[in-house]
């Protein structure tokens, strides 16, 4: 592609992530306009050729593709002049951006919930804008590398039209028409990540209670977690099939052993606040007659609205 054919892009929000996004567009030769609520964050980008807009409206007007990456959806709505949700009509700040989005594509890469994404998609549609929602599965230094995964959802036609532009940020993956799907995957993946971090913190605090350096212990954690990761595809298969019967390490046994994790934490002067919810869930599993089956039977117990599950089955229908 000729560098002159690169789509002009606006990046709104110059926090750590917004700066990385704008830098990646510049690297790929996209004419790039930037704007941030607090002035003074665009310096390095303007030195590299970006144009710093004086206002959000000027930034939106500068490009057919407007990428927003700010703290949260409240900030997105504030910047775009989209009325805040749950506020009586007419009391939201109309802002100066509203009206300028018509005919442009709004790509919102701000972290949020599926509901927030769907509501913003509806608002963008009312503005006459195309909308893509995105989840960034990367930290700022990764942006622009193949390891940076950008999950997108929204109109397939809009995605196809801008896939090449967005691929400046990393590997882009389209998850379908529903604008909320990228946020759903993003939140689910972050949930898995925080579970892992919580486990790591607990492990390091435990050995640290006897002055074992974290750096000495961490290679063991990594190889243990690597080994345990191999069980996830089997658990997924069991969950989808609603058949938790195949297991070498039944749930009941693990519920018993888990008590030792709590007791040892207390003995060593380490908080058990991260472990207690898992202990309670294991005991709920036993109480629901799932003690003889696999740990994967616990996933169903997390659902508070069974009707929303793709499997749509009742909590007590699991086989062991
Ligand atoms: N950084 C990361 O590791 C993660 C990786 C995965 C994706 N997240 C999400 O990306 C969004 C932005 O994160 P960030 O790292 O850029 O965050 P900060 O460096 O804290 O910058 C925040 C920017 O948001 C602007 N902002 C905040 N409130 C408002 C508002 N009411 N109106 C307009 N802009 C607002 C803030 O502006 P300022 O404080 O400089 O004026 C920054 O530009 C986020 O959703 C992550 O979850 C990052």
In whole angstroms, give the CA distance from residue 75 to residue 113: 14
State the pLDDT at residue 309: 64
Nearest one of 110, 172, 166 to 121, comparing CA atoms: 110
Does 65 have pLDDT greater than 80?
yes
Q: What is the pLDDT of residue 205?
A: 98
| DSSP-based three-state secondary structure for 256 | helix
Residue 268, token pair as written in the block: 């060593």
pLDDT in tens, 226-267: 999 999 999 999 999 999 998 889 999 999 999 999 999 999
Phi, psi of 288 (to 5 degrees): -90, 20
Ligand 1 contact via 116 beta carbon (within 6 Å): no
Q: Ligand 1, from 15, 72, 143: best to mutate by most atoms within 8 Å of Cβ?
A: 15
Q: Ligand 1 centre from 35 Cα, in Å?
A: 12
Give the pair of three-digit tokens for residue 68.
Answer: 């927003």
Largest Cα–Cα distance of the chain, in whole Å?
66
Contact 98, 78 (CB under 8 A): no
Which atom of ligand 1 lies at the shortest distance from residue 38's CA? 41
Q: For residue 278, how far is its CA from the centre of ligand 1 (angstroms)? A: 32
Q: Which atom of ligand 1 is nearest to the CA of 37?
A: 41
| CA count, 13 A, side-chain hemisphere, 243 | 4
The pair of structure tokens assigned to 21 is: 């996004």
Q: For atom 21 of ligand 1, which residue has the closest CA?
A: 15
CB-CB neighbours of 143 under 10 Å: 24
Positions of E strands within 155-199:
171-174
Lowest mean pLDDT among 87-101, 128-142, 302-316: 87-101
The pLDDT of residue 25 is above 80 = yes
pLDDT, one tens digit per residue, over 273-301 is 999 999 999 999 999 999 999 999 999 99
pTM tops 0.85: yes
Check: CB of residue 306 under 8 Å from CB of residue 313.
yes
Contact between residue 291 and residue 245 where contact means Cβ atoms under 8 Å apart: no
Confidence of residue 99 (pLDDT cuts 50, 70, 90): confident
pLDDT, mean of residues 187-213: 98
- Of 52, 99, 95, which Cα lies nearest the Cα of 76? 95
User: Which one has a higher pLDDT value, 99 or 308?
Assistant: 99
Say yes or no to pLDDT of 1 above 50: yes
CA 71 – ligand 1 centroid, Å? 3
- The protein residue whose alpha carbon is closest to atom 8 in ligand 1 is 111
Report the residue count for the chain: 320
Atom of ligand 1 nearest to the CA of 70: 24
The mean pLDDT value for 42-63 works out to 95
Burial class of 15 by CB neighbour count within 10 A (0 to 12, 13 to 18, 19+): middle
140 CB near ligand 1 (under 6 Å)? yes
Candidate from 43, 70, 93 with most ligand 1 atoms within 8 A of CB, to mutate: 70
E-assigned strand segments in the chain: 9-12, 32-35, 51-52, 65-68, 105-108, 130-137, 149-154, 171-174
**Cβ-proximal residues to 83 (8 Å cutoff; 6+ apart), any chain:** 77, 89, 91, 92, 93
Cα 206 to averaged position of ligand 1 atoms, centre (Å):
34
């Amino acid at each position: 592609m000729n560098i002159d054919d690169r789509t002009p892009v606006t990046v709104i929000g110059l926090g750590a992530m917004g700066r990385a996004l704008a830098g990646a567009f510049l690297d790929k030769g996209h004419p790039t306009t930037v704007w941030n609520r607090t002035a003074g964050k665009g310096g390095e980008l303007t030195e590299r050729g970006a144009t710093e807009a004086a206002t959000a409206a000027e930034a939106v007007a500068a490009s057919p593709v407007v990428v927003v990456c700010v703290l949260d959806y409240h900030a997105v709505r504030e910047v775009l002049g989209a009325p805040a949700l749950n506020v009586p009509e007419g009391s939201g700040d109309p802002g100066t951006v509203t009206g300028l989005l018509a005919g442009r594509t709004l790509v919102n890469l701000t972290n949020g919930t599926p509901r927030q994404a769907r509501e913003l998609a509806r608002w963008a549609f009312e503005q006459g804008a195309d909308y893509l929602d995105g989840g960034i599965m990367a930290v700022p230094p990764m942006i622009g590398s193949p390891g940076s995964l950008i999950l997108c959802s929204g109109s397939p036609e809009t995605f196809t039209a801008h896939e090449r532009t967005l691929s400046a940020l990393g590997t882009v993956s389209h998850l379908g028409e529903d604008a909320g799907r990228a946020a759903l995957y993003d939140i689910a993946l972050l949930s898995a990540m925080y579970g892992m971090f919580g486990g790591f913190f607990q492990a390091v605090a435990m050995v640290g209670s006897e002055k074992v350096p974290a750096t000495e212990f961490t290679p063991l954690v990594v190889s243990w977690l690597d080994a345990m990761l191999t069980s996830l595809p089997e658990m997924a298969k069991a969950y989808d099939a609603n058949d938790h019967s195949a297991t070498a390490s039944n749930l009941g046994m693990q519920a018993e052993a888990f008590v030792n994790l709590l007791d040892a934490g207390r003995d060593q002067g380490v908080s058990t606040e991260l472990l207690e919810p898992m202990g309670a869930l294991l005991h709920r599993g036993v109480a629901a007659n799932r003690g003889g089956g696999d740990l994967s039977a616990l996933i169903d117990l997390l659902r508070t609205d069974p009707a929303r599950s793709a499997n749509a089955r009742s909590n007590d229908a699991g086989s062991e």
